[in-house]
Amino acid sequence: MSTDTSAIHPAGIEQILAAEQELRPRSSTTRKLLHVARDNPLGTFGLIVIVALLVVGTFGPGLAVSIPFGGPQIVETPRLTSHAYDDIGVGTKNEDPSQAHPFGTDKVGRDMLARVVAGARISMLVGFISVVGGIAIGMLIGIFSGYSGGWVDSVIQRTVDSVIAFPGLVLLLILMSVFKPSMTTVTLVIMLITVFPTIRISRGATLSERNNQYVEAAKSIGASSNRILFRHLAPNILPLGIVLMTTSLGAAILAESALSFLGLGIPEPNPSWGRDISDARNTQPIHVWWALFPGIAISLTVLAFNLLGDAIRDIADPRLRGSR
Amino acid sequence: MLNFIARRLIISAAIIVLLSIVTFGLLRVAPGDAALLASGGGFIPKEQVEAERHERGLDKPYFPISIRATDPPFVRWNSDNQYWAWASDILRGDLGRAALTDVPVSTAIKDRLPTTLELLVLTMSTTILFGVPAGVISALYRNSPIDLTVRFGAILALSVPSFWLATMVLILPSEFWGYAPPLGRTVSFMDNPWDNLRQFVPPAIVLGIAASATVMRLTRSSLLEVLRADYVRTARAKGLRESLIVYRHALKNVMIPVITVLGLQFTGLLGGTLFIELIFSIKGLGFYTYEAIFRKDYTVVQSMTLYIGIVVVMTQLLIDITYAWIDPRIRYS
């Protein structure tokens, strides 16, 4: 569960793009993208997996679409799987993988393929909402802290230090024991623990950015603090946020599954990869297939985000290319 | 140097006090009734629960200062409060007792510490044994198939959830070969070294794999950076053997960030042991904390949080001091 995000230089992207424009003959955007993809095969693989997971997560369990003008009726779109994740008894209990149930069934005869597919939606939802929210809040506080300096900065930084020092998993557990487990609380708690490292990193970026000449130039023509913060500093620190998001998403999805595994995460009837593993473990006799597929799903998802995160970091800072 | 240590000590103490206040408050807002749990839970007569609450002092105000928005005085001073009672016990060295079993927390820590410590030592050994050499090899054969394999392996290790890996390590051998490590009770190394290792090595490797991936990545990137440094070029220009350059000159500087990360990994592992002990049913401190969190056992969770907090802060302090000692530039920044 490592979100190692040291040494990111947000100004990197612009510099590379500018350099590339000079060096390469003019080419279409598609060709440029293909170039980037060819240079980062692992990152491209990650991106493809993520897009596939998003599609599967969105359309897999079926969508309920309400029709705006024809009244309040709801139309269910067809599922990608032949069963719903909560259809009890579509197979016999603890079935091994077969043609009818490629991933087998669980202890109440639910189709595991349908559950793994529906689990993708939950993981992605919790992951995206918590990380986007957490990074946004963290960056706002971090930029504010770094720009204002003085005792405000000290207080914020000491608080961040003490929270970061504490083992993340224990912190998650204590927080979740306070709240009643639900999708909202799980998302909020993961958001909360994403905020703190983000504060530290974006503060560092602000500090190094603050001393640049363009800030001095803006000050000298009489720009207000707010204008410097939002018009000059923020756009330069924003690419950092994108890097942080990709690297944190893997960690967020791991955190959700870990909480669900401990029974403090997503409650029934929602499917969760982590809870399915724990349910499989606690059934006698243990049904190996039941625990296997959700685990592969978690690993593949987190791997995809880690690969994409590494690739984006390499592009953002070419000095680190291939070094991590 | 003394000044530096003193300053860090004061900050550490402040962090611990802050931590204790936050945990204390959080546990009090948590749903669930500690008095009801302590008196046995379920259908206990109300008077008995209230008596239990009074006896444990759970009816007192939480903090020395309480704020009430409804009626004046809005800010009250409470001389008799739960936080102060608990904190003064702690300062006297009394960590309290578990609500359900009435066993003193300090006894539980003393009984369970060796178990967790052995797990941590084995895990840290795995981490160093896998992480550092893999990082060095990966950096020396940069962009070769070996490097790519090691790097992909590291990303994979960071992606696989340790609780799933642990579950698989337990259930796959039992499914296919009918093998299971001794479960349920903890075997001491002194009594039966073989059973003890059978019990502790698999969880240590599972925990160590993810940690060693981080160490590997850091070792690799720092070594690559150092190998580009001027002094390494000078060493090469002098005609030193490559192995001498790497092991004598480069690795020494690489170890500084690696030691820091090892320290961070150590504190992270305190959370990891919680899972691993639960899955492998090793009765250590992690298991103890998990049970207490689930049972809403205020005293135990508070004391354990404080305990973990102190270990974390002391590790941090130790790293800072080592760091400042190795690299004098840090002391003055």
pLDDT, tens digit (0-9, with 9 covering 90-100), for B290-300:
888 777 777 78
A87 HSE (CA, 13 A, CB side): 16
Contact B308 A170 (CB under 8 A): yes
Tokens found for residue A85: 């994740």
- Mean pLDDT rounded to a whole number for chain B: 80
Indicate the length of chain A as a whole number: 324
**H helix or E strand, kind and range, residue A79:** none
Query: Are residues A169 and B23, on separate chains, in Cβ contact within 8 Å?
Result: no
Residue A282 pLDDT level (bands cut at 50, 70, 90): confident
- Give phi and psi for A111, each to the nearest 5: -70, 120
Torsion angle defined by CA atoms of residues B159, A241, A321 and A210, in that order, rounded to the nearest 10 degrees: -140
| pLDDT-based confidence at residue A300 (cuts at 50, 70, 90) | very high
- Residues in B 159-188 with any Cβ partner in A closer than 8 A: 159-161, 163-164, 167-168, 171-172, 174-175
What DSSP element (H or E) covers A202? helix A183-210
CA of A18 to nearest chain B CA: how many angstroms apart? Answer: 26
Indicate the burial class of B262 (C-beta count within 10 angstroms; 0-12, 13-18, 19 or more): buried
Task: Report pLDDT for A137.
Answer: 93
Residue B212 contacts A where some CB pair is shorter than 8 Å: no
Specify the pLDDT at position A148: 82
Mean pLDDT for the stretch of residues A83-110: 70
pLDDT band per the 50, 70, 90 thresholds, residue A5:
very low
Of A161, A173, A261, the CB nearest to B163: A261
Range B39-68 average pLDDT? 70
pLDDT of A134 reads: 94
pLDDT of amino acid B210: 85
CB nearest to A177's CB, from B15, B161, B293: B293
With a pLDDT cut of 70, the percent of chain B lying above it is: 86
pLDDT band for B38, please (50, 70, 90 cuts): low
Which whole-number Å values give the CA distances from A53 to A85, A116, A120, A123, B224, in the listed order?
16, 11, 7, 10, 35
Go through the domains of chain B in sequence order and give each one's CATH number: 105-332 (1.10.3720.10)
Give Dmax (Cα) for chain B. Answer: 86
State the pLDDT at residue A302.
Answer: 92
Do the beta carbons of residue B219 and residue B254 sit within 8 Å? Answer: yes
In eight-state DSSP terms, residue B246 is I
Residues of B in contact with A283 (CB under 8 A): none
Do β-strands A64-66 and B75-77 pair in parallel, antiparallel, or remain unpaired? unpaired
**10 Å Cβ neighbour count for B156?**
16
How confident is the model over B66-103, as pLDDT tens digits? 666 676 666 767 767 778 878 888 788 777 777 777 78
pLDDT digit string (tens) for A45-70? Answer: 889 988 988 888 777 766 655 555 66
Q: Which residue of A has its CA nearest to B263?
A: A165
Q: For residue A18, what pLDDT is reported? A: 67
- pLDDT of B54 reads 73
Delineate the domains of chain A, giving CATH numbers in brackets: 112-320 (1.10.3720.10)
Q: How confident is the model at residue B142 (pLDDT cuts 50, 70, 90)?
A: confident
Q: Which range is least confidently modeled, A117-121, B188-192, B231-235?
A: B188-192
Q: What is the mean pLDDT of residues A184-199?
A: 90
Q: For chain A, first and last CA: distance in Å? A: 16
User: So what's the pLDDT on residue A6?
Assistant: 40
Q: What average pLDDT does the structure give for chain A? A: 78
The pLDDT assigned to A301 comes to 92
Answer yes or no: are the C-beta atoms of A194 and A171 closer than 8 Å.
Answer: no
Cβ–Cβ below 8 Å for B167 and A277: yes
Enter the ipTM. 0.78
The C-alpha atoms of residue A116 and residue A61 are separated, in whole angstroms, by 10
Chain A residues close to B26, C-beta within 8 Å: 174-175, 178
Q: Which residue of A has its CA nearest to B213?
A: A2
Residue A131 has pLDDT above 90, yes or no: yes
The model's pLDDT over A231-242, given as tens digits with 9 standing for 90+, comes to 887 777 877 888
Taking 60 as the threshold, does the pLDDT of residue B64 lie above it? yes
Q: What is the pTM of this model?
A: 0.79
pLDDT (mean) for B118-123 = 89
Contact A234, A210 (CB under 8 A): no
Rounded distance between C-alpha atoms, residue A153 and residue A143, angstroms: 10
**Nearest CA among A317, A297, A278, A266 for reference residue A129:** A266
**What is the predicted pLDDT for the residue at A17?**
65
Q: What are phi and psi of A161, to 5 degrees?
A: -55, -45
Q: What is the mean pLDDT of the segment spanning B266-273?
A: 80
Q: How far is B190 from chain A (nearest CA, A)?
A: 31
Q: What are phi and psi of A81, to 5 degrees?
A: -95, 160
Least confident of A186-190, B48-52, B138-142, B169-173: B48-52
A177/B275 Cβ within 8 A = no
Interface contact flag, B30 A178, Cβ < 8 Å: yes
Q: Which residues of A touch B311 (CB under 8 A)?
A: none
Substitution target from A39, A116, A157, A166 for chain B, most B beta carbons within 10 A: A166
Residue B281 DSSP one-character state: T
Please report which confidence band the pLDDT of residue A135 belongs to, taking 50, 70 and 90 as the band edges.
very high
